[in-house]
Amino acid sequence: MTDDGKPCYLTSASAGGVISKMADAMEAEQIRTAREVLAESRLMLEEERLGRLELRFVSKRLTECLADALRVAESRGIRIGIEDPRPDDDMEELTDSGAGE
């Protein structure tokens, strides 16, 4: 993230460099963590009764992991030349598709 909170990405020209390898390692760790959190969340959600705090915890961790996974997907997409849609575009699609229901 930049100082003003915007994501920053490596270019495809930096592939194989030290920073690129560090970014790849970080992305791999984020995906591993997401898999672990998903598995633990599924186990917790199988419980008959979860309290508000447990549900909040699961929701928070899943949200964090989803944000990381989306950042990894966007970064990798940009590196292979896939145009990154603006987040507002996705939200407009979701809002428009549900308007007629």
For the beta carbon of residue 34, count every other beta carbon within 10 angstroms.
19
Domain assignment of residue 3, yes or no: no
Domain assignment of residue 55, yes or no: yes
Total number of domains constituting the chain: 1
SS3 34: helix
Domain assignment of residue 91, yes or no: no
pTM (whole model) above 0.75: no
Give the model's pLDDT for residue 10: 60
Give the model's pLDDT for residue 33: 94
Give the model's pLDDT for residue 56: 93
Residue 20: give the domain boundaries.
12-82
Domain assignment of residue 48, yes or no: yes
Rounded Cα gap, residues 89 and 35, in angstroms? 28
pLDDT along the chain (101 residues), means of 10: 69 70 88 94 89 93 92 79 62 53 42
Give the model's pLDDT for residue 99: 47
